[in-house]
Chain A
Amino acid sequence: MPWYLPRDKRYRRRLTFTREGKLFVFVTLALGFAAVNTGTNLMYLMFGFMLSLIILSGVLSEHALRQLRVVRRLPTRAFAGEPSLVEIGVTNLKRRLVSYSIEVTDQALSQPNDRRCYFLKVAPGSEQSTSYRRVAARRGLMRFGGFRLSTRFPFALFEKWRELDGEGELLVYPALLPHPFTEGAAQEEGDQAGTSRGRGTETRELRDYRSGDEMRAIHWRRTATLGKPVVREFEREAAAVLSILLDNARPRGATDSWDEAFEQNVSRAAYVAERALSRNYTVEICARGSRSLLLAGGSPPDGLWRYLALLPCDGEGELQAPKRGARILDLRSNVLAGLASAA
């Protein structure tokens, strides 16, 4: 790009004529021809005026697109097959000029680019934002390539556009597919309190304060009664562990139906993981060559969903062994195997 152009100007502009623009240009050229032909001076006047409208249109559309900053605000969670709101913000960095009629196309790679956000007026120095719904077809990383900033302002004779950087990534979690027997199992297999000290919620005993104890552990009422600091000790909560087994090794010659069934199992695993965590199960997911984090019951399921979102269907190696004593949900062989105890 030429060095003398301002940085903002070095982006390449392109334009395409609208239907009205084509008509206008045609009439202008025809009028020019008629003016040359007849030598009628007033025709030259109109011809000059129409030409100036075209030139001015180019200048104004350029100003409308200049010094705009576009940001994308992605949702914290997005699930495959479900619409999620993506917010687009446009800031007009110009000092005086308003930018009218700006259209921002959020360009997701390998996705249809029909998601457009329209900004009727962006005042100088201010930001306008709007959002659109995007539905990710499948789990995994959705990559955004940048923005296409376009305008037909001021006379709709042509559409001028430029591209802006704005790469981004959105991790799309698998769709949540309800599992038929999770509910009953979770109720039966609830929390089991252990006998050792730990970071549970139930008070096991009181003892004197020692240096390094957390302030929140102080039992204030007893401290006030005894006149010395007393802290609580908690019971360790030994929750049931649920291991979800997923076979992600795609057999040779597998057809699309295998892929479909595998994706369904991933979706079921995502659903089960969320339900189990909400019922205080400690949950892990085991697949070939990798396993997820072991998430304690009550934790947000995002860690497991992230794992599932990125789980490849061409895993290699042995299936990771479940935790000892864990309950097992076997989703291998694309069959819901039900719960079983690991030896």
Chain B
Amino acid sequence: MSFSRLQKLVTYLLAGLGLVSLGFGGEIPLVALLGLAAGFVASWFVEGRLLTRRWWGRAITATLCVALVAQVARGFLMGGGWLGLAMEFAGLLTLSRLANRRTAVDYQQVAMLAFIQMIAATVLTTDLSYAAVFVVFVIATPWVLTLAHLRREIERNYPVESDTDGGADLARVLASRRIVDVSFLSWTALLSLPMLAMTAAVFVFFPRIGLGMLNMGGTRAQHVSGFGSDVELGGFGVIRDDPTVVVRVVPPRELSQQEARRVLRLRGTAFDQYDGTRWTRSSSEGVSMQPIGDYYPLKRMESDSDLTLKLILDRLDEPVLFVPRGTVGLRMPQRGLPGSRRDRIRVTRGHGLDIRYDSKDELGVVYEAVVSLDPGEGDVPVDRELDDDRYLALPPGHERVLTLAQKLTAGIADPVEQVSALLRHLRDEKRYTYSLELPDTRGKVPLEVFLFDARRGHCEYFSSALAIMLRAIGIPSRNVTGYAGGEYNPYGGYYGVRQADAHSWVEALLPGRGWVVIDPTPPSRESFQPSGLFRNVRAMLDAMRAYWMTRVVGYDLQKQLRALRELRAFFRELGFSKSAPAESADPGEQTKPELARGPLALGGLAVAGLALAAFVLVRRRGRRRSQDELTAAAREARRLYLELERHLAKVGHGRPAHVTPEAHARALSAAGFGAAAEVNEVTELYVRARYGAAPLDPARLTSLRARLRALEHAA
């Protein structure tokens, strides 16, 4: 491939990456993105003479000016959105350079813009897609920068028109296929490996002492519904086909099916008021929880029999902390400096065990839930001051529902039996079916439509119906939203809880039990279940995403300190010091059986030493071989010629460095040098033996040597 074509290709690759990174964060509307993509493709075909036309360059500059004015005007008219407008303009700048790529400077500007766009994207996204773009960017950047540099030098050093000597002109050099080839691309691509290693080193070891003065925090949160202050009936349960993982539950060991079913019910928000179409929370204010260390007790302190689950929560637009069933407390590791109040994530507890977090950054959160596997601790604790009659309030116009509830529980005194009776009614598959196809409830009471007419609906209808019927018979109840279920990801070793696992159920306050979890929804047959290769790929991608979010995006001072402690422990063991045991990397971590790192390190050092010795040996052998490549005759001839040179230097006719032996001999002959005959003979012999591999006549060699000595004596 010619130099110019290759340069165009890799520059477009880099520019494309820059434009893709502009799309992160959703600041640029889709229409504008499509326009930029179209311009990007169109600019590829701008070639040849058009690029050299002066009017073309002027037209592009004028277009840019108009676009700038238009963007400013749009900003004022729309009253904001400057970030998106600026990014659109950055995209236009890239297109303008691509469509007017005449000189090396234009290519350099494209690279510079791509850098700026990639930097801008760091505050717009935390998604795994940035990692993919970043890796390709690392590979492509050396190509682009190197080729831009070479082109600039070519433009500086080669004439535009061919000179009279027929020397290479600019166009010929740029069309050459010999300047850069596959090996050039290969070794520049290989450079990405040390660059990634260096990047990783800087990333890991550069101190994370964020001052937080300019935190832009433009990361877009994942949209979820059902965890805010209200939820429309029918607005939550229709996301059964969204496979996006929102929570990852990392168990300390493999869970049994029963354990998994129990702990993978993640409670989010509880609603206490129902107006007939919408559930709301009467009080959305929470009180700040006081931790004991980093532990936030919900029921009690943790015990050895408890199961600790790590939850990796993506950043959602509602900062809810999801709590597995049976959770007795939460542990929230801090991000910043130990003891720093500024970096502490604040945890609040609202009415109805609504637990939320408040952090300075816009990242997701990683926390631990201490879960009791004791069936008796599966219920939700009662907030004595907060739980009151509001859980018995009934919406107006639901008389048919009340009548039905009373009818179903007639003659039953035990609240547990009453609950069972209502559950039996709703779970009767001959009577009600689970469906995502919602009935038309316009102008009607939705629950009545569900219970008496349509007799189908999704989890929200079932849970709302049960909650209202429970209230109708005097049992306090509330509607709870959260996630139920999850799929084990073998690549990441966690349960991925998807948006599609969003669920709604009921909590009833039963005497002597507290808030009991009741799920009236029959099993779904319509849930989204991908399979085969797609499922595996999705699981793998999600594992990568989890790794990215926790190890890269979520890398903080605590993790950095832990890494440094591990490194210190490793080096301490390199010194074979047994007096000081290696410090545990994580204070909360159980002590692991000590690995025999000393011998390992010794072995590593030995291997490194051997590799170094082998390298030195190979290098020396290579050098020696190059010396050995001279034949014995050539060595003799060289020795003789050096003798001659010494003599010539002594008599003031030394050979200048820039003159070849033959030329020097000719010059001496022409100047009438006395020993020209000897010089000629020795030079001829030397050149023939050294470069022509001609054999050496020993008699002649001896004779010449004698003549040289005679000359020496004479001098």
Contacts and interface: CB of A to CB of B under 8 A. Distances in A.
A38 B210 contact: yes
Contacts of B137: 49
A155 B214 CA distance: 31
Contacts of B415: none
B152 interface: yes
A56 B149 contact: no
Interface stretch (A67-75, A107-115, A224-232): A67-75
Given A46-B118, A46-B122, A47-B206, A168 B656 contact: yes
A74 B660 CA distance: 12
Contacts of B148: 156
Interface stretch (B38-46, B197-205, B344-352, B679-687): B197-205
B82 interface: no
Contact of B553 (A41, A72, A101, A153): A41
Interface string B147-164: 011101110110000000
Contacts of B141: 49, 53
B191 A36 contact: no
Nearest to B125: A42
B134 interface: yes
A37 B658 CA distance: 59
A153 B146 contact: yes
Interface string A1-42: 000000000000000000010000001000110111111111
Contacts of A167: 657
Interface string A82-99: 000000000000010010
Given A20-B108, A37-B214, A41-B555, A52 B179 contact: no
B123 A38 contact: yes
Contact of A38 (B194, B212, B670): B212
Contacts of A209: none
A74 B658 contact: yes
A55 interface: yes
Contact of A36 (B198, B207, B555): B207
B202 A52 contact: yes
A47 B206 CA distance: 10
A44 interface: yes
Nearest to A47: B202
Nearest to B360: A39
Contacts of B214: 34, 37-38
A45 B134 contact: yes
B215 A38 contact: yes
Interface in B173-224: 173, 178-179, 184, 188, 191, 194-196, 198-203, 206-216
A315 interface: no
B334 interface: no
B122 A43 contact: yes
B142 interface: yes
A291 B657 CA distance: 30
Interface in A206-251: none
Contacts of B206: 32, 35-36, 44, 47-48
A152 B151 CA distance: 12
B347 to A, nearest CB: 20
B138 interface: yes
Contacts of A40: 122-123, 215-216
Contacts of B201: 48
A196 to B, nearest CB: 23
Given A40-B123, A52-B194, A121 B145 contact: no
Contacts of A155: 142, 145-146, 149
B295 interface: no
Interface string B514-535: 0000000000000000000000
Contacts of B130: 42
B119 interface: yes
A51 B212 CA distance: 22
A44 B108 CA distance: 23
Contacts of A41: 203, 552-555
B70 to A, nearest CB: 28
Contacts of A98: 184
Contacts of A166: 657
Contact of A39 (B134, B146, B198, B361): B361
B111 to A, nearest CB: 9
Interface in A149-196: 152-156, 166-169
Given A37-B211, A120-B153, A53 B195 contact: yes
Contact of A121 (B152, B179, B195): B179
A305 interface: no
A20 B148 CA distance: 12
Contacts of B153: 101, 118, 120, 152
Contacts of A20: 108
B353 to A, nearest CB: 32
Contact of B149 (A48, A49, A55, A153): A153
A72 B148 CA distance: 30
Nearest to A27: B115
Interface in A111-140: 118, 120-121
Interface string B658-679: 1000000000001000000000
B154 A120 contact: yes
A167 B654 CA distance: 14
A36 B199 contact: no
Nearest to A170: B658
Contacts of A73: 658
Contacts of A271: none
B269 interface: no
A32 B203 CA distance: 11
Contacts of A169: 656
Contacts of A55: 198
Interface in B489-508: none
Contacts of B464: none
Contacts of B212: 37-39
B617 to A, nearest CB: 16
A118 B137 CA distance: 30
B174 to A, nearest CB: 11
Given A101-B153, A120-B153, A45 B146 contact: no
A100 B210 contact: no
Contact of B119 (A46, A53, A168): A46
A28 B548 CA distance: 23
Nearest to A299: B670
B418 interface: no
Given A39-B208, A42-B122, A48 B200 contact: yes
A56 B187 CA distance: 13
B199 A48 contact: yes
Contacts of A300: 670
B126 interface: yes
Contacts of B184: 98
A76 B191 CA distance: 46
Nearest to A97: B187
In the complex, which of the residues A38, A55, A121 has the most CB atoms of chain B within 10 Å of its own CB atom?
Answer: A38
B150 A120 contact: yes
Contacts of A36: 206-207, 209-211
| A-B interface, 7 closest residue pairs, ranked by CB to CB distance from nearest | A39-B210, A48-B202, A52-B198, A42-B122, A48-B199, A118-B157, A156-B149
Interface of B: 108, 115, 118-119, 121-123, 125-126, 130, 134, 137-138, 141-142, 145-146, 148-150, 152-154, 156-157, 173, 178-179, 184, 188, 191, 194-196, 198-203, 206-216, 361, 552-556, 622, 656-658, 670
Given A50-B115, A118-B153, 17 more contacts: A34-B214, A37-B211, A42-B122, A42-B130, A44-B203, A46-B122, A48-B206, A49-B137, A52-B198, A53-B145, A72-B658, A98-B184, A120-B150, A121-B179, A154-B146, A154-B149, A156-B148
Interface of A: 20, 27, 31-32, 34-53, 55-56, 60, 71-74, 95, 98, 100-101, 118, 120-121, 152-156, 166-169, 300
14 contacts: A36-B210, A36-B211, A40-B122, A42-B125, A42-B130, A44-B202, A47-B202, A48-B202, A48-B206, A49-B134, A71-B657, A120-B150, A153-B146, A168-B658
